[in-house]
Structure 1
Amino acid sequence: MRLRTALLAMTAMVAAPVVASASTITGPYVNIGAGYNLVQNQHAHFAPGSFADGSDNAGGTVGNLRHKNGYTGFASFGWGFGNGLRAEVEGVYNWSQINHRGGTAVPGSTSGHDRSYGGFINVLYDIDLTRFGLNLPMTPYVGVGAGYLWQTYDFSTTYTNGAANSLNQTRGGFAYQGIIGAAWDIPGVPGLAVTTEYRMIGQTFGAGAYTSGTTNAAGSYQGNVNFDHRFNHQFILGMRYAFDTAPPPPPPAAVVTPPAVAPARTYLVFFDWDKATLTSRASEIVRQAAEASTHVQTTRIEVNGYTDNSAAHPGARGQRYNLGLSKRRAEAVKAGLIRNGVPETAIDIHGYGEQHPLVPTGPNTREPQNRRVEIILR
């Protein structure tokens, strides 16, 4: 029942309405989150102990600890490499209620809790859905982490025969985790995103046994307690801020002076994302430019192609791809001018890729006004 409730809550978080598409992180970021912590039932081996006078107690049981409600919280600092990969350092705190200990010879009532704290080093990968032809308002990611957690058990069991057993001690051990999540950008706030995650944390106990105390009719004694592997399932809602995704400030206004010669006539032709084909509107603008070239004194016609800084491929490969795409757009406009009567020898074409954007943007941003070809009549 608790697992089903947690899964429903996670589904509700993922289904929350959003309108913006999350972007790949380049540079530093911070992340905080909190959520529900569900601990699997855990075996505890209670070894025979010794009385205060040194004599042995022949007892020894295998208990099954059952956890109820719990919570988790974390904070992390990381760095995105611009190609989907991220690395981060994380501090975490977990708490869970213990409400039952099974497998004992005599029935009893158990109450208490456990908690853990420590850190992980995580490596994550953001999945760009546009590479698969999906334009969804989120960026899913997966990750793994390794670290160290200090685990405290604080619980007691009172049996119907009057005996009692308690444990309150801290030990540490190696821990690891797997992460599945999604980031949802907040419209109008560059760099800020809501994150939803599922995490599975596993922990070993290699730093020695715990020590419990027991009181019964025979007296008081202590014995070692060893715990099996521990697993936490966590459902988390968080906030993440990437520091370098805000658009750069606009360039200062240029001082306009009267030109010494007649100004050039410029026409702008816009393209769909990752396309180099002329739309009907683009073809009309090319026709107008060709007609204007016959009515003004023109020595040459420059056709310059550009793209925005998003790409169908990541990193330097994407920049090379955009450079070729900008040239194909310029060639498409040149062909349109020739069809409308402009001599081929009068046209010079250039492809500039992501350089000289018409509208400054942050990295990996689809900006329609930057996907253009400029026709300049000189």
Structure 2
Amino acid sequence: MIKHLIPLTLIAVLAGCAGVQQSTERRTITHYGGMSIQKPAPVSMSSRNVESVVAPGSVRGTQLGIVYFDFDEYVVKPQYVPVLENVTRLLKDKPGMKVTLEGHTDAAGSTEYNLALGQRRAEAVRQGLARYGVSQAQAEAISFGEEKPALPGRSDEVDARNRRAEIWTTP
């Protein structure tokens, strides 16, 4: 049950909310993190719809998004720019709101290494939000390393789902 919670929450946010509109249209090339990328058209998500998706039994608040990372990497990929933009819009609409950015890793590597990598992933998302104007005071970056996997076990697919940073509202 728990292992399906995050994918189901993400699916509900991306597919089930009436305020979500996805587009494959491309806009101008933008510099992000020191590299040039094509930026997808903005994805619209109202605050009301984001707040309506709460993980059952969650004490963390509402999950606003997930950013996945490649093996041993902590660079936010261009495909996750819309996640940062959506969170930015919400935080600008609600300046008193705060988010917690949880960095996670797969089980490869030592506990110490994974805690440091998880922190770098959370900080990369924090810096990405800051580029869009989110105050550093609104976003706290923490690491869980390999301690809170999204999925149990080890396989390429499982490891890929565990290499992530989750964005949660702070209750």
Q: Which category describes the TM-score, using the shorter chain as reference length?
A: 0.5 to 0.7
Q: Deviations over 1:259-295 (max 9, x none)?
A: 9xxx524210100010011110122311221112223
Is it true that 1:289 corresponds to 2:87 in the alignment?
yes
Q: Is the 8 A contact 1:298 1:377 kept in 2?
A: no
Q: Which has more helix, going by share of residues?
A: 2
Aligned residues: 119
Of residues 299, 310, 328, the one that matches 2:120 is 328
> Scaled by the length of structure 2, what TM-score is found?
0.59
Change (3 A) 1:291 1:252: closer
Is it true that 1:349 corresponds to 2:141 in the alignment?
yes
AA of the residue aligned to 2:106:
D
Offset of 1:302 from its aligned partner?
Answer: 0.7
Q: CA RMSD in A?
A: 3.0
AA of the residue aligned to 2:167:
I
In the TM superposition, 1:212-223 aligns within 5 A as none
Larger Rg: 1
SS in 2 for 1:266: strand
Q: Is the 8 A contact 2:3 2:152 kept in 1?
A: no
AA of the residue aligned to 1:269:
V
Unaligned stretches of 5+ in structure 2?
A: 6-55
> Scaled by the length of structure 1, what TM-score is found?
0.28
AA of the residue aligned to 1:308:
D
Offset of 1:363 from its aligned partner?
Answer: 8.8
Change (3 A) 1:297 1:335: closer
SS in 2 for 1:328: helix
Change (3 A) 1:363 1:323: farther
Look up the match of 1:169. none
Identity of counterpart residues, as a percentage?
26
Change (3 A) 1:302 1:282: same
Q: Deviations over 1:219-262 (max 9, x none)?
A: xxxxxxxxxxxxxxxxxxxxxxxxxxxxxxx65999x57x9xxx
In the TM superposition, 1:1-378 aligns within 5 A as 256=56, 264-296=62-94, 298-311=96-109, 318-362=110-154, 367-378=159-170
Q: Is the 8 A contact 1:304 1:374 kept in 2?
A: yes
Unaligned stretches of 5+ in structure 1?
A: 1-249, 312-317
